[in-house]
Structure 1
Amino acid sequence: MESAKNAMMTGMKFSIEPLKEPLGFIKLLQFILSIFAFATTVSLDERISFHAVCRNETYNITTATESIQVAYPYDLHNEYFMWPLCTKSPTGPGQMRLLEGAKSSAEFYVFVGVFVFLYCLAALALYLLFDELYRSNSNIVTADFIISVVLTLFWLIGSSAWAQGLVNLKYYTDFNKCGQFDMMGTDCKAPNQCVQTKFPNFASLNVSVIFGFLNMMVWAGNLWFLYKETPWFKVRSKPPQEPSTDPQRI
């Protein structure tokens, strides 16, 4: 009895009717798309491998194989392998680090996806449990519209940054293109030879970028339906009042 009384006092009433309207249906779609966006971004766990063939002065051949992990948050600058591979350094072996990764753009993109996921969850709870309160309170409707505008911009910025970050990630994990072998000096120069034997598969990250821009388009399209609920639209859509024809005022 007490819980029912509290529910009546707060105006809580569960209804799936909002899901049949664009406002609720699109929010559910945004909820699902946000999961795909950040899930595909953090799912990659690949390795880079390269093989060094070393020939000494008497042309005795030795080999060395190194493998480096590529995984979220893609901070490749902190990944390293022991170097030199073919010669001995007087100071002992050192660490050869990769040139660059995509840590900041990947983390920002995932932050946007997770925040949108939580916001959609809260908005769906509001639509389904407090639909009457939502529609009758202009402050809540206006806040929902403004937050959605900001999140649309976040999707645009985050997706663009992550797309460029992925381009950088592909470039710096290809040792032949980025010049990583050139930085290794005599280890990879004749008569020695270095060959990259394993390249990461970035298919899931390509999909994550697609989901990012898809999220941005869905959020941008939903702004119209949110705007129609705001008092700004309702004031503009009111028909003009006809002048009074009361004979006493003539």
Structure 2
Amino acid sequence: MESAKNAMMAGMKFSIEPLKEPLGFIKLLQFILSIFAFATTVSLDERISFHAVCRNGTHNITTKTESIQVAYPYDLHNEYFMVPLCSTPAGGPSQLPLLEGAKSSAEFYVFVGVFVFLYCLAALALYLLFDEVYRSNTNIVTADFIISVVLTLFWLIGSSAWAQGLVNLKYYTDFNECGQFDEIDDCKIPSNSCVQTVFPNFASLNVSVIFGFLNMLVWAGNLWFLYKETPWFKVRSKPPQEPSTDPQRI
């Protein structure tokens, strides 16, 4: 262990030359794209609001407004409003949560983005400080390639799950579409009316999904450049040895 550490320290030499090659340049691009992916996912902080117009007779009309926050991790099961809307029961109001959210897919997607951010940071430090050690150590090169294959799959799975989670999030924050008003007894009364007045703006989350699939494409494309550094490629690309022409065998 000590000898390996000494060898690493001896091979330490800062150079920006790896950034001029596809291996280093793409890693820097992956580092930046990962920040955009998870930053746009956690940036949303919107609200849902709706009005309930309650009619008790011809002239007795009251209006109740409810507002619910929509923010990361989009666990709408823990977001609720108080019912009933048009009266105050003797036992007090009760909580009515929203129907469904996108907590698991959002958290997994952010986990992939943060993990990739940290891995790219470590890989860039390795490329810039220990480039000669990296290229001469087949174990490090092979590990880099295998980890990159796994992270490419993670981006594909995480982006697909988050894209579906975003679809669910849009659906369940539209009370007219998902039937949330059907869960409210006061809204079922013909003389009353419930109207959603504020809808969340999901523009940043749409962008986050795009960044997820863009990350996946960049990582998939980078696998070829990583594979060229592995011993598997170098063995296959090595030219065949010419047959021996020893004069003693003739």
CA contact (8 A) 2:166 2:205 kept: yes
DSSP-derived class of the 1:66 partner: strand
Residues 27-52 of structure 1: per-residue CA shift (max 9 Å, x gap): 00000000000000000000000000
Alignment CA distance shift 1:2-1:179 (3 Å): closer
Alignment CA distance shift 1:2-1:141 (3 Å): closer
Shift in Å at residue 188 of structure 1? Answer: 1.0
Shift in Å at residue 90 of structure 1? Answer: 4.2
CA distance in 2, matches of 1:33, 1:5: 32
Alignment CA distance shift 1:2-1:114 (3 Å): closer
CA distance in 2, matches of 1:82, 1:4: 63
CA distance in 1, matches of 2:4, 2:135: 22
Residues 151-210 of structure 1: per-residue CA shift (max 9 Å, x gap): 00000000000000000000000000000001xxxx113440000000000000000000
Residues 209-228 of structure 1: per-residue CA shift (max 9 Å, x gap): 00000000000000000000
1:4 corresponding residue in structure 2:
4
DSSP-derived class of the 1:91 partner: coil
CA distance in 2, matches of 1:155, 1:124: 20
DSSP-derived class of the 2:194 partner: strand
Comparing 51-60 with 119-128, greater Cα deviation is found at 51-60
DSSP-derived class of the 1:82 partner: strand
Shift in Å at residue 87 of structure 1? Answer: 2.8
Comparing 53-62 with 167-176, greater Cα deviation is found at 53-62
CA distance in 2, matches of 1:9, 1:68: 55
Structure 1 position 65 matched with structure 2 position 68: no
1:79 corresponding residue in structure 2:
79
CA contact (8 A) 1:175 1:196 kept: yes
Alignment CA distance shift 1:238-1:8 (3 Å): closer
Shift in Å at residue 247 of structure 1? Answer: 1.1
TM-score normalized by structure 1? 0.94
Residues 57-113 of structure 1: per-residue CA shift (max 9 Å, x gap): 454100100000000000001000111001333432100100000000000000000
DSSP-derived class of the 1:195 partner: strand
Shift in Å at residue 248 of structure 1? Answer: 1.4
Gaps of at least 5 residues in structure 1 are none
Shift in Å at residue 2 of structure 1? Answer: 17
CA contact (8 A) 1:83 1:93 kept: yes
CA contact (8 A) 1:52 1:194 kept: yes
Residues 6-36 of structure 1: per-residue CA shift (max 9 Å, x gap): 7984310000000000000000000000000
CA distance in 2, matches of 1:212, 1:2: 40
Comparing 57-66 with 191-200, greater Cα deviation is found at 57-66
Cα RMSD after superposing both structures: 2.7
Alignment CA distance shift 1:86-1:218 (3 Å): same
CA distance in 2, matches of 1:143, 1:9: 20
When the two structures are aligned, how many residues end up with a matched partner? Answer: 246
Alignment CA distance shift 1:130-1:60 (3 Å): same
Identity of matched residues, %: 92
Alignment CA distance shift 1:228-1:92 (3 Å): same
1:189 corresponding residue in structure 2:
188
CA distance in 2, matches of 1:6, 1:217: 38
Alignment CA distance shift 1:88-1:58 (3 Å): farther
CA contact (8 A) 1:35 1:114 kept: yes
Shift in Å at residue 56 of structure 1? Answer: 1.0
Comparing 81-90 with 138-147, greater Cα deviation is found at 81-90
CA distance in 1, matches of 2:146, 2:87: 62
CA contact (8 A) 1:7 1:13 kept: no
CA contact (8 A) 2:171 2:177 kept: yes
CA contact (8 A) 1:78 1:97 kept: yes
